[in-house]
């Protein structure tokens, strides 16, 4: 390598390979660029075919306007484009591609073939480019439109090729790109074929709802609420998932700005503001479309156009928050200082309640903690004489030792004798439910507040793991088998680990085209939504990364995902159900946290209460 300090012009083939590094990260990047070109060409049909995760072949065929011979030759030159003419055009771009770098960049790192014909021409044109060098130009009998074939991607850049992932991983990225463009343009018919197997065939002329149902299934769409809001030249529309349907990541947040898959920091902010606090760091599901005049958004701030910048971000933010809160039935209330808080609207509170109940003002707006707020009324308690006897549950735990050995007030009952090891208390009784969610217990050492959801997760998790350790798979057959359609990425993950899932007692079989048939579930999970259950399992298995070893870790992940899906779907917490849950929790090996580490209970000793009351 020369390092004499002199500046030289790079040879064109070297410059093209460098540019390819910015545009072509992996096979999915090629699919993105070629599909965008097809859509910009006015196609009503786009067919994508890939082989070996796109390494051997990526072919995109469209019925768009096509090109003549001269335009076809110019299309593989750097900075050659039909989308812009002068610098002012950059400020009002209304096409997906515009830089004129995609085709020459792709052709420089592959064996590239372009076939194209306009409707007015009797014959079409075929170009063959190998590693950036034009090898052949000839007339060809081809249909109207354009067909682009990319073979042996990165064949001349081995350093890039070796960083490609497994075929299945690259294919999953391709499916994600295909899904984005299929959602953005439901009016265009599209298909995706991989290794000879048709993965998707979508009819033209569909609505957004129909396209979402074709891609994700009816179960996915059942939890969505329509969004529609227009403010001047700004329109926000699409669908928002209820707060009860969330994901661990943003994989099911589909955001489009003027039909371009993209995002901006203000959008993430608006989603956080519009939704009530979600458990942990979970993310809502949205299919969000923002449309505005092209001059209101700058798409030229990222090499791959993934991120955009709004000229009036405050207006976009307010429109998004307003549209989302209206769709979810969440009212924005004004504080005295002019800020906003968010709480469920009265007319749709029951529908949106799920895991949110009523949002606390102190949680959402700490600086306005002094403002009055209406909390849910506590569950009324029966008179003392009507209380059931204390629940006899085995032993005090060293982590929450009893501060004062008192019998239950008003009962005069002694402590239970000969306690077993492991229980958080010697005796306890359920006093009632507070905040519409939490259980309040009286114990020998103090008061305990229990989160029923976390408690149920712990109980179910230990039951599933105990069955797996004993080699028992106690399953309950469903009265009617249920067919579940998963998102393409989730389906691939579940398919990869299907034997592990079946070994945990799930009667699940692949049914084709990302569908799975569920015939049986472990006993503890019989009332769970099968789609949420399988989606959680698939995601947790994939997010574990490349960890290797025994199957035990996979079983733990399956159990954790299953418990998360099941925790919110148990029986209502009447008196009997509450006492049973508390009893089952106390009998677990680790009653103090759920499988994901969240606390199941908060203990306040009698001694702490006496100190706070100055006794």
Residues 605 and 588 reside in one and the same domain = yes
Secondary structure E strands in 11-110: 45-51, 57-62
Q: In what order do the strands lie in the sheet with 438-443?
A: 391-392, 427-434, 438-443, 446-450, 601-605
Q: What is the pLDDT of residues 434-452, one digit of tens each?
A: 887 899 999 888 999 999 9
Question: What are the structure tokens assigned to 433, written together?
Answer: 């439910």
d(CA 178, CA 184): 10
Are residues 173 and 261 both part of a single domain?
A: no
362, pLDDT greater than 70:
no
* Count of beta carbons in the 10 Å neighbourhood of residue 546: 4
| pLDDT tens, residue by residue, 485-541 | 888 878 888 888 788 788 777 889 988 778 899 888 877 676 667 777 787 777 777
CATH number assigned to the domain comprising residue 160: 3.30.565.10
Which helix H or strand E contains 284, and what residues bound it?
A: strand 283-284
Integer Cα distance of 27 and 48 in angstroms: 12
596: in domain: yes
The answer to whether residues 443 and 458 belong to one domain is no
Asked if residue 273 has pLDDT above 70, the reply is yes
Q: Which two tokens mark 111?
A: 């064996």
- Pair (29, 72) in one structural domain: yes
Which residue range(s) make up the domain with 476?
Answer: 454-567
Q: Residue 64: what pLDDT?
A: 94
The token pair that represents 150 in the structure block: 């990319």
- Give 141-150 pLDDT, tens digit per residue: 999 999 999 9
- Asked if residue 374 belongs to a domain, the reply is no
Q: Which of 444, 419, 417 is nearest to 429 (CA)?
A: 444
pLDDT band for position 461 (cuts 50, 70, 90): confident
pLDDT band at 553; cut points 50, 70, 90: low
pLDDT at 46: 97
Whether 560 and 464 share a structural domain: yes
Structure tokens at 545: 């990364």
By DSSP bridging, strand 391-392 and strand 475-485 are unpaired
CA distance linking residue 588 with residue 337, whole number of Å? 48
Q: Is the pLDDT of residue 376 over 50?
A: no
Q: Report yes or no on 40 lying in a domain.
A: yes
Domain count, the chain: 4
Same domain, 46 and 135: yes
Domain for residue 377, yes or no? no
Burial class (CB within 10 angstroms; exposed 0-12, middle 13-18, buried 19+) of 401: exposed
Q: Are residues 64 and 146 in the same domain?
A: yes
Same-domain status, 118 and 199: yes
CATH number, residue 301: 3.30.230.10
- Asked if the structure places residue 216 within a domain, the reply is no
Q: Is 304 within the bounds of a domain?
A: yes
Alpha carbon distance 203, 525 (integer Å): 37
Report the 10 Å Cβ neighbour count for 94: 15
175-184, 391-400, 514-523: which has the minimum mean pLDDT? 391-400
pLDDT band at residue 84 under the 50/70/90 scheme: very low
Q: What are phi and psi of 253, to 5 degrees?
A: -110, 105
For residue 107, the SS3 value is helix
Q: Is the pLDDT of residue 354 over 70?
A: no
Report the C-alpha gap between 224 and 352 in whole angstroms.
11
Q: What is the distance between the alpha carbons of residues 442 and 439, in angstroms, rounded to a whole number?
A: 10
One DSSP character per residue, 452-515 reads HHHHHHHHHHHHHHHHHHHT---EEEEEEEEEEE--HHHHHHHHHTHHHHHHTT-EEEEEETTE
Q: Are 352 and 399 part of one and the same domain? A: no
Q: The domain spanning residue 446 has which CATH number?
A: 3.30.1540.20
Which pTM was predicted? 0.65
Q: Are residues 392 and 262 in the same domain?
A: no
177 and 41 inside one domain: yes
Domain boundary at 317, 337, 368, which? 368
Q: Are residues 100 and 124 in the same domain?
A: yes
């Amino acid at each position: 390598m020369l390092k004499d300090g002199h500046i030289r012009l790079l040879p064109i083939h070297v410059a093209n390979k460098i540019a390819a590094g910015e545009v072509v990260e992996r096979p999915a990047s090629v699919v993105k660029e070629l599909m965008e070109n097809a859509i910009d060409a006015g196609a009503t049909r786009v067919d994508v075919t890939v082989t070996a995760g796109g390494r051997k072949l990526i072919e995109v065929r469209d019925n768009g306007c096509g090109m003549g011979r001269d335009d076809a030759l110019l299309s593989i030159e750097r900075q050659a484009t039909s989308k812009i003419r002068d610098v002012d055009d950059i400020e009002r771009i209304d096409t997906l591609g515009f830089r004129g770098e995609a085709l020459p960049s792709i052709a420089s790192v592959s064996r590239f073939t372009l076939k194209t014909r306009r409707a007015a021409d009797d014959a079409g044109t075929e170009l063959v480019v190998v590693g950036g060098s034009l090898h052949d130009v000839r007339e060809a009998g081809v249909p109207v439109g354009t067909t682009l074939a990319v073979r042996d991607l990165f064949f001349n850049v081995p350093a890039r090729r070796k960083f490609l992932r497994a075929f299945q991983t690259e294919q999953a990225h391709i499916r994600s790109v295909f899904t984005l463009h299929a959602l953005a343009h439901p009016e265009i018919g599209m298909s995706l074929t991989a290794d000879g197997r048709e993965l998707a065939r979508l009819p033209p002329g569909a609505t957004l709802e129909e396209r979402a149902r074709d891609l994700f299934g009816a179960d996915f769409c059942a939890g969505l609420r329509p969004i529609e809001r227009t403010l001047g030249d700004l329109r926000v529309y699409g669908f928002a998932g209820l707060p009860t349907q969330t994901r661990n990541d943003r994989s099911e947040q589909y955001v489009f700005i003027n039909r371009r898959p993209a995002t901006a920091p203000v959008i993430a902010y608006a989603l956080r503001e519009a939704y009530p606090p979600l458990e942990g760091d979970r993310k809502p599901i949205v299919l969000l479309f923002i449309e505005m005049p092209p001059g209101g958004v700058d798409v030229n701030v990222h090499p791959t156009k993934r991120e955009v910048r709004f000229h009036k971000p405050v207006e976009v933010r307010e429109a998004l928050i307003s549209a989302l809160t209206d769709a979810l039935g969440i009212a924005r209330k004004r504080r005295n200082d002019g800020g906003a808080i968010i709480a469920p609207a009265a007319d749709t509170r029951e529908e949106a309640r799920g895991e949110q109940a009523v949002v606390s003002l102190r949680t959402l707006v700490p600086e306005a903690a002094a403002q009055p707020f209406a909390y849910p009324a506590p569950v009324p308690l029966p008179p003392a004489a009507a209380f059931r006897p204390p629940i006899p549950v085995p032993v005090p735990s060293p982590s929450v030792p009893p501060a004062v050995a008192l019998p239950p007030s008003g009962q005069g009952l002694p402590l239970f004798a000969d306690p077993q090891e492991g229980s958080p208390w010697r005796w306890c009784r359920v006093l009632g439910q507070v905040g519409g969610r939490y259980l309040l217990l009286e114990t020998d050492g103090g008061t305990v507040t229990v989160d029923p959801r976390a408690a149920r997760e712990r109980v179910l998790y230990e039951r599933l793991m105990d069955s797996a350790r004993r080699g028992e798979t106690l399953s309950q057959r469903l009265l009617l088998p249920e067919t579940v359609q998963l998102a393409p990425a989730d389906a691939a993950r579940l398919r990869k680990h299907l034997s592990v899932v079946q070994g945990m007692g799930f009667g699940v079989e692949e049914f084709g085209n990302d569908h799975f048939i569920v015939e049986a579930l472990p006993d503890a999970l019989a009332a769970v939504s099968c789609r949420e259950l399988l989606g959680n399992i698939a995601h947790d298995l994939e997010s574990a990364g490349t960890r290797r070893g025994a199957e035990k870790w996979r079983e733990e992940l399956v159990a954790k995902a299953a418990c998360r899906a099941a925790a919110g779907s148990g029986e209502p917490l009447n008196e009997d159900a509450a006492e049973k849950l508390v009893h089952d929790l106390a009998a677990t090996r680790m009653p103090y946290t759920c499988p994901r580490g969240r606390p199941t209970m908060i203990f306040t000793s009698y001694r702490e209460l006496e100190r706070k009351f100055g006794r």
